[in-house]
Chain A
Amino acid sequence: MNGARSATLTLAGRLASFRTEGFPLIPMSILGALLFLAVFANVLAPHDPEVGSLGERFRPPVWQQGGSEKFLLGSDHLGRDVLSRLIFGARVSIVVGFTAVLVAGVLGTGLGILSGYLGGWVDQVIMRVTDTWLALPALTFAIFLAAVVGPSEMNIVIILGAVYWTRYARVIRGEVLSLKERDFVRLAIVAGCSKRTIMKRHILPNVLNSAIVLGTLMLGVVVVTEAALSFLGVGVPPPKPAWGLMLADGKKGMMAGYWWLTVLPGCCIMLMVLSANLLGDWLRVKLDPQLRQL
């Protein structure tokens, strides 16, 4: 960042530039750390996340009275290590989050481009389906789908993709509508390019930035929804360590004072969603071709 300039900025200005300029250190390091945990979960986790010993149930974190160094962040109702489950939970959240965003993004961007560029009845059909889709409450719809196809990680990805593609379709269609009136698209038509070539070479690259920004912002939404589905018991199936599932398991212990079973996975979800949103904000500014320095 430019030191001389930021020195003259007001506090509000500095906060704003912190969000949009420079390198997004905080969100990138949080996401980087989670990614690192997810990739090396087998090496990093001190215990097997799915096996516990009933003799060591509800151990508090190490700094609290009764805590032991064996369970740094305590243990749950089945005596499983919370730290190990959080580490493996990062893997679930990241795999499910990224693939679901990708599925929704590919589906929504593709349909949005077709709808916006081709117009006519194609546009009508895709947009009416989108309207109907958006009228359904996302979570209820996801629960319904989950109940139909049954819980598994793969199915969660498909469900989240099927629920959230509409947001892409809407936004991308709008972008395409303005892009197709731009002169470079008209020049491509005048130069004899086919519709397919124009959509592939002139429309898609120009909406990709929006799709990526939307994707980062959607990552937060998708992670929360995945957690909610797991919490409700229609998400990632039980022995697997998903953060939402840990919340659900831990809620019985809340009143008994076993706070670490809910607060810790809750914090993990919050951190991931927050950093995804911060990163999305930063990308939105950075990827604007007019502002980009080449």
Chain B
Amino acid sequence: MSAPPLLELRDLSTHYVSARGTRVVRAVDEVSLTLEAGSTLGIVGESGSGKSTLALTILRLLPPAARITGGQILFEGEDLRTKSDGEMRRIRGKRIAMILQDPMASLNPLFTVGDQIAEPLRVHEGAGRAGSWSRARDLLKAVRISAPESRVGEYPHQMSGGMRQRIVGAIAISCAPRLLIADEPTTSLDLTIQAQYLSLLRDLQRQHELALIFITHNLGIVAKMCDQVAVMYAGRLVEWGPVTRIFDAPAHPYTQALLGSIPRMGDGRERLTAIEGQPPDLAAPPSGCAFHPRCPQAMAQCREQAPPETALAPRHTTRCWLSVPAR
């Protein structure tokens, strides 16, 4: 084994507990995966499957009702769960950055964009005013904003949506982080701007050897952007592996259904195939495998016991009884 991977999650669990402690929601349940420096991981799943909670867990920014109940978050070989609040603050924004779901609202209306790009530099590197502003200009150039000299002194409301989003990107990479978590960064943009933004992220990733975690429910983006994909269902990682393998030969019935529900041009089907049934209530999940009520290949065993994590290849795991070899 060489150097440790950039990020390794081991059996990570995060639960929400209601005020009286009577309801427990397993938002993230025993998730394990690894991410190498410079590579891209897509996390997909339905709304409420725990994607965003997983991202917040990595940054240790959970709401008060949520607790990390087990597992490890190894970032560059160190467990983030053992870090103090102050140490976590020094990691956030500097070594792990994040782009939020709605980058349009991520800018403070009262400060110039230059000020806001310079903020992480001032917080983390103690950069002075003049120094941080010239860095801000360089960053604006890096995210392909024309006339950065004059744009740096403008306010967010003077910019278009696509520009504001690129500025959020500039803020995220300002301290040269090793990992960037993007939580549905393109949902609020129209399609042409989306494509531009994604190619910008790719270029930034290549230039800065940045690892990306892409949280999305757009499988097209995953296919285009990611090296690995992690499929979440009801807080569990039902399948994780290289994008090419999973798109070609998905092992888990849920992944198969997810891929089957992508509309394709000219495949002649009249109707879209939807996944039958509703996502489960995480406070009262079905017994055994959480997907069994909707699974076309469910067996008796699925109702009784949750399937263990099974390795299909060195970096390809799934949780399904169908893939457990000795039955």
Contacts and interface: CB of A to CB of B under 8 A. Distances in A.
A289 B110 contact: yes
Contacts of B120: 191-192
Nearest to A201: B119
Majority SS at the chain A contact face: helix
A105 B153 CA distance: 31
A128 interface: no
Given A188-B119, A191-B120, A205 B158 contact: no
B213 to A, nearest CB: 13
A294 B110 CA distance: 11
Nearest to B154: A294
Contact of B92 (A189, A197, A289): A189
A184 B107 contact: yes
B155 A190 contact: no
A186 interface: yes
B61 A192 contact: no
Interface residues of B, number: 31
A191 B102 CA distance: 16
Interface stretch (B93-101, B138-146, B190-198): B93-101
Given A294-B155, A294-B158, A191 B93 contact: yes
Contact of B97 (A182, A190, A193): A190
Interface in B86-145: 89-94, 97-98, 100-103, 105-111, 116, 119-120, 123-124
Contacts of B108: 184, 188, 202, 205-206
Contacts of A191: 92-93, 97, 119-120, 123, 171
B59 A190 contact: yes
Given A187-B168, A190-B97, A194-B89, A289 B109 contact: yes
A192 B106 contact: no
Contacts of A69: none
B295 to A, nearest CB: 36
Contacts of B119: 188, 191, 193, 201
A187 B171 contact: yes
A294 B112 CA distance: 12
Q: Most chain-A CB neighbours within 10 Å: which of B97, B101, B106, B171?
A: B106
A187 B111 CA distance: 14
Contacts of B59: 190
A176 to B, nearest CB: 14
Nearest to A184: B108
A196 to B, nearest CB: 11
A192 B86 CA distance: 9
Contacts, number: 72
Contacts of A290: 109, 157
A294 B158 CA distance: 9
A190 B177 CA distance: 12
Contacts of B92: 189-192
A192 B100 contact: no
A176 B123 CA distance: 22
Q: Most chain-B CB neighbours within 10 Å: which of A188, A190, A197?
A: A190
Contacts of A202: 108
B155 to A, nearest CB: 6
A290 B105 CA distance: 13
B89 A183 contact: no
B155 A192 contact: no
Nearest to B158: A294
Given A183-B100, A183-B105, A187-B168, A192 B89 contact: yes
Contact of A192 (B91, B101, B111, B158): B91
B97 to A, nearest CB: 7
A188 B97 CA distance: 11
A205 B109 CA distance: 10
Nearest to A209: B110
B90 A192 contact: yes
Contact of B123 (A183, A184, A187, A192): A192
A22 B158 CA distance: 23
Contacts of B102: 183
22 contacts: A182-B105, A183-B101, A184-B109, A187-B107, A189-B92, A190-B59, A190-B100, A191-B97, A191-B119, A191-B171, A192-B92, A192-B123, A192-B124, A193-B89, A193-B119, A193-B123, A205-B108, A206-B108, A206-B109, A289-B109, A294-B155, A294-B158
Sorted from nearest, which 4 A-B pairs have the closest CB atoms? A191-B93, A192-B93, A192-B92, A183-B105
Given A192-B93, A193-B93, A201-B111, 5 more contacts: A182-B105, A187-B98, A189-B61, A191-B93, A205-B111
